[in-house]
């Protein structure tokens, strides 16, 4: 081994979900939106003044922050934007979780939390979800250096009631509590109004799901101005200009079209209701879904075998080879046509 290799940071490389590049496939594996971005985004792209690319973008991302402030009825100093909610969350870990006490997050949850904690050497504990995959709020009633959980949770799709969310925040006022609401637009109740009451609350959302812009990489955090300033200070000390010109312009356009947003989110929720019924008829069970995916299992059907069989047919869902969830599949809600193809295959596979 070369001497310099000794000082390379050791990480467990995260393996991103499959991004197969087949022409004809049904992609229900990464919780993307089956509908494209708002029509105004296309027009904005065509009219973008590309000469401006020679200049650095606005480091304050004012255009986008202003659009979000208007949409959510906040002040601009209550909003932080970043390169996807992964960037926003990682920045929040780096900014807020500097205690010697462990931060807390559920044992079954978004897999990046433990990765960022390891990367920044933040100690953590992972209270177990209960048998029905519910977050037990009492578990967050212990000494800690911070709390983070998604609501709805992933990959379970299960939402925690807003009273329980508030209870967790209220009982942890000495640390920062982050509620990761990547999927909140599809169900559950947002903790956003609580940022006025609790100055230790940070609510994180994303353009990747309900706003059909996973390819644009935009996430945002909302909280009291002290929290937002602390994150911006850390961000500016890293890389002042993280949001490129197309993100600012096209992201803003996406926020403005509320009607399209409501329409597409509504369609996905309707498709989800039909998918729930059909899964039930086929003998699957699942925690009550509040996100744009269903986490389903079927007694007598091996999840991994089914996952592989679906893949053979170019139907991609997500399988996690992990304790407690290895008999489940996470199925993203696609269009009605995509779900029809998925169910046709299931009926054939299960001989129903």
Which residues 303-332 are close enough to bind a second copy by CB under 8 A? Answer: none
Among 66, 77, 107, 119, binds a second copy (CB under 8 A): 119
Distance, CA of 189 to CA of 157 (rounded, Å): 13
Q: 57 vs 187, which CB is nearer to a second copy?
A: 57
Residue 58 makes contact with a second copy by CB under 8 A: yes
Residue 143 makes contact with a second copy by CB under 8 A: no
Residue 59 makes contact with a second copy by CB under 8 A: yes
Among 34, 102, 106, 287, binds a second copy (CB under 8 A): 34
Give φ, ψ of 77 to 5 degrees: -80, 5
| Spatial contact of 287 and 156, defined as CB atoms under 8 Å apart | yes
Q: Hey, which residues between 76 and 115 contact a second copy (CB under 8 A)?
A: 83-84, 86-87, 90, 94-99, 115
172 to 191: interface string for a second copy, x by CB under 8 A: -xxxx---------------
Residue 5 makes contact with a second copy by CB under 8 A: yes
Q: Hey, which residues between 206 and 245 contact a second copy (CB under 8 A)?
A: 208, 212-217, 226, 230, 232-234, 236-245
Query: Applying CB under 8 A, what is the total number of residues that bind a second copy?
Result: 85
Q: Hey, which residues between 257 and 296 contact a second copy (CB under 8 A)?
A: none
Distance, CA of 347 to CA of 352 (rounded, Å): 5
- Which tokens go with 49? 């003044």
| Spatial contact of 163 and 194, defined as CB atoms under 8 Å apart | no
Distance, CA of 212 to CA of 37 (rounded, Å): 5
Select the span of 35-43, 63-71, 291-299, 343-351 touching a second copy (CB under 8 A): 35-43
What angle (nearest 5°) sits at the alpha carbon of residue 268, between those of residues 24 and 181?
A: 110
| Spatial contact of 297 and 282, defined as CB atoms under 8 Å apart | no
Smallest separation, CB 248 to a second copy (Å): 9
Smallest separation, CB 50 to a second copy (Å): 5
* CB count in 10 Å sphere of residue 348: 11
**Of the candidates 289, 270, 316, the residue with the CA atom closest to the CA atom of residue 28:** 316
Smallest separation, CB 154 to a second copy (Å): 15
Among 37, 102, 155, 223, binds a second copy (CB under 8 A): 37
Beta strands (DSSP E) in 158-218 are 177-180, 201-206
Among 102, 106, 127, 145, binds a second copy (CB under 8 A): 145
Q: 5 vs 131, which CB is nearer to a second copy?
A: 5
Neighbouring C-alpha atoms within 13 Å toward the C-beta of 163:
0
**Order of strands, edge to edge, in the sheet holding 329-332?**
293-296, 329-332, 318-319
Give φ, ψ of 214 to 5 degrees: -55, -35
Residue 250 makes contact with a second copy by CB under 8 A: yes
176: left (phi over 0), alpha (psi -120 to 50) or beta: beta
Select the span of 53-61, 150-158, 295-303, 309-317 touching a second copy (CB under 8 A): 53-61
Select the span of 38-46, 276-284, 314-322, 336-344 touching a second copy (CB under 8 A): 38-46
């Amino acid at each position: 081994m070369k001497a310099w290799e000794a000082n390379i940071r050791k990480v467990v490389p995260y393996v991103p979900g499959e991004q197969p590049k087949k022409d004809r496939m049904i992609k229900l594996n990464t919780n993307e939106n089956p509908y494209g971005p708002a029509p105004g985004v296309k027009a904005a792209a065509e009219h973008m003044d590309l000469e401006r690319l020679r200049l650095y973008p606005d480091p304050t991302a004012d255009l986008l922050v202003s659009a979000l402030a208007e949409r959510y009825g906040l002040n601009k100093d209550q909003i932080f934007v970043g390169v996807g909610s992964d960037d926003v969350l990682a920045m929040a870990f780096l900014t807020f979780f500097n205690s010697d006490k462990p931060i807390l997050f559920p044992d079954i949850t978004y897999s990046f939390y433990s990765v960022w904690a390891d990367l920044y050497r933040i100690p953590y504990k992972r209270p177990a979800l209960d048998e029905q995959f519910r977050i037990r709020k009492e578990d967050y009633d212990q000494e800690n250096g911070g709390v983070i959980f998604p609501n709805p949770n992933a990959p379970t799709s299960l939402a925690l009631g807003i009273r329980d969310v508030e209870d967790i925040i209220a009982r942890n006022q000495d640390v920062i509590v982050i509620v990761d609401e990547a999927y909140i637009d599809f169900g559950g109740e947002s903790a956003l109004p609580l940022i006025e009451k609790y100055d230790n609350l940070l609510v994180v959302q994303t353009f990747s799901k309900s706003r059909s812009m996973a390819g644009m990489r935009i996430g945002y955090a909302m909280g009291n101005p002290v929290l937002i300033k602390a994150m911006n200070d850390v961000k500016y000390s890293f890389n002042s200009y993280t949001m490129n010109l197309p993100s600012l312009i096209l992201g803003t356009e996406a926020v403005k079209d509320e009607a399209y947003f409501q329409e597409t989110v509504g369609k996905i929720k309707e498709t989800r209701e039909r998918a729930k019924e059909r899964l039930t008829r086929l003998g699957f069970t699942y925690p009550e879904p509040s996100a744009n995916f269903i986490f389903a299992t079927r007694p007598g059907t091996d999840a991994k075998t089914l996952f592989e069989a679906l893949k053979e047919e170019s139907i991609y869902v997500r399988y996690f080879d992990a304790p407690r969830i290895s008999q489940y599949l996470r199925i993203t809600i696609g269009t009605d046509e995509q779900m029809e193809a998925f169910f046709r295959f299931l009926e054939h596979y299960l001989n129903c």
